[in-house]
Amino acid sequence: MPELPEVETVRRGLAPHLEGHVITRAEARRPDLRWPLPPDLVQVVTGARVTGLRRRSKYILVDLEDRGSILLHLGMSGRMLIEGAVQGEFHRDPAILPRHDHVVFWNDEGTQITFNDARRFGMVDLVAPGAEHPMLAHLGPEPLSDDFTPDVLIRAFSGKKTPVKAALLDQRIVAGLGNIYVSEALYRAGIDPRRLAGRISAARISALVGHIKDVLSEAIAAGGSSLRDHRQATGELGYFQHSFRAYGREGAPCATAGCSGVIRRIVQSGRSSFYCPTCQK
């Protein structure tokens, strides 16, 4: 389920097991995910000390002392699993099939950290010291940073003939939003997902920026709180219960005070959009 908040929660969950630790062992159990795994992945990471974990958009960067970074992307179905040294201490969700454990790391405490990805849309790559990975080169601003301002989004939307839904999914405009949080942010902002990006007033775009920051911050806070419980139960990081106001609520009454609309689902460029036709204009 990884959009920005889920990836950030995964990063925070992994940090205690990786930051400051040495990766003592690694296995690549197949040659590729979406793209080939680096042939030297195991060799590079084995014995490396992790100096920090960063997130950029939906990517996690595991920084290695003197050896560059590991770049992780969870795709649609990727998960990170933490399992203690004592086997059987954690109960695994039966839906997480061990045959999809594609890359496994062990730290210097014997903790096993597993990249599991049924659909294999995810990626694991290496970034050389001092280099920038090409997948990160053209990303737009981080939505929760000070770089993401009303002026930035107003400029990005100016003259755009694409629906605002598609514009917000464009990672060059703003990085880290996916199908769920775009629906949620537009719902909060009262903007119809079909509206052309270039035809939204500056005032409404400014408000939208605030709603994007709010919904992402709230989701991270929710993920952070559910992380502890969830990890104790299953050892899994990254799948949380979220309460969405629009996404997945087709046919439900609009939650906006005073609105008697009903949430509708439409398909835009092959993806579902959920919105209230009454209060989103």
Angle formed by the axes of helices 179-189 and 202-234, nearest 10°: 130
Which of 2, 5, 143, 163 is an active site residue? 2
Nearer to DNA, 57 or 107 (CB): 57
Binding status of residue 118 toward DNA by CB under 7 A: yes
Determine if 91 is a binding residue for DNA (CB under 7 A). Answer: no
Residue 2 lies near DNA (rule: CB under 7 A): yes
Judged by beta carbon, residue 11 or residue 58, the one nearer DNA is 58
Strands (E), 22-75: 23-28, 50-56, 59-64, 68-73
Which residue from 24, 46, 171, 234 is in contact with DNA, where contact means CB under 7 A?
171
The helix-helix angle for 150-157 and 202-234 (nearest 10°) equals 110
Residue pair 167/194 in contact (Cβ under 8 Å)? The answer is no
- 165 in active site: no
Site map (CB under 7 A) of DNA, residues 127-166, x = contact = --------x------------------------xxxx--x
Measured over the CA atoms of residue 159, residue 162, residue 165 and residue 166, the dihedral's sign is: negative
Cβ proximity to DNA: between 67 and 165 the closer is 165
Instruction: List residues bridging with 78 in a β-sheet.
Output: 117
For residues 123 and 150, give the distance between their C-alpha atoms in angstroms, rounded to a whole number. 32
Residue 146 has which token pair? 């000070």
Asked if residues 54 and 132 have their Cβ atoms less than 8 Å apart, the reply is no
Give the nearest distance from C-beta 101 to DNA in angstroms.
12
- Is there a binding annotation on residue 165? no
Residue 211 main-chain phi, psi, to 5 deg? -70, -40
Catalytic residue (choose from 11, 58, 67, 79): 58
Interface residue with DNA, options 40, 89, 99, 201 (CB under 7 A): 99
269 binds DNA (CB under 7 A): yes
**C-alpha Rg value of the chain to the nearest Å:** 20
CA distances, 29 to each of 20, 86, 228 (Å): 25, 22, 29
Interaction of residue 180 with DNA, rule CB under 7 A:
yes
Binding residues for DNA, rule CB under 7 A, total 37
**Known active-site residue 36:** no
Task: Report if residue 252 touches DNA, rule: CB under 7 A.
Answer: no
Interface contacts to DNA, rule CB under 7 A: 1-3, 6, 34, 57-58, 73, 75-77, 95, 97, 99-100, 118-121, 135, 160-163, 166, 169, 171, 178-180, 239-240, 242, 269-272
Residues belonging to the active site: 2-3, 58, 271
